[in-house]
Structure 1
């Protein structure tokens, strides 16, 4: 498994693979801002916007690749208010079901933390509705701030709680 960042051009060229990861996660029940049924074009549109954000310098996209292509992603969102140049949001840790249980999520999180340090971001924040992801974040030293009940919907329409975390890097 290789983890690396994609520039805006390469992200735009790999929209199909990125969309496949997002679709697989949503179809698997991940609460990552999308509802079922999810059209492939909806996923592609999302990744086009991400590529545009990379081009504007507002985010960093990291991917994990296996022999089949992109197997996971995570983003570092650095488009922060003027009084928060020291922090960033970690978003959309997505791991294709074919790559789960092999350390893909951990490698992506370690890489996004390193990217944050390299960009002078010392405080990272994220949220999750996944108990599996919570265990990963806590293992990696993230601190839970709290839980908001009924914060978002799962892809099937059921309400779910969301946990918020931070980490100093």
Structure 2
């Protein structure tokens, strides 16, 4: 299979990068190179830059979203990466603002000594906590504690010896 990255194409890309570096412009991204040279994917553009770098014709400093290419023959570089980020085509995302609290009663957490038993389906509209008072800092009210509590002898029958339990 014939390679798309011919010496003529690499020479043209090198000349374009040298021209941009001389003008102090931003190093083109993979998508821009792919459009200019009609590559099927941006990965081919990345390979072309890698090939020029491997040949020692350019040195590339990569940033999070951009790169800076230095032409080794002249020492000229494209615009710094920070400037490349400012010149990007996508507008900056807006900052997140404060969010208003949802209306309705505020549920006090477990520190408030309220039952945490979930009534109904938790993911549905009818899912809510029992919120009755608890005793001795338990997580559930006496009615729900009866439903879930397993006496030590039952726990031992079901799960085997309970560590730390003195008979």
Q: Do both proteins adopt the same fold according to a TM-score greater than 0.5, normalized to the shorter chain?
A: no
Return the structure number with greater strand share.
1
Which structure is higher in RCO with an 8 Å CA cutoff and minimum separation 6?
Answer: 1
TM class by shorter chain equals: under 0.3
Q: Which has the larger radius of gyration?
A: 2
Give the structure-1-normalised TM-score: 0.26
Give the structure-2-normalised TM-score: 0.26
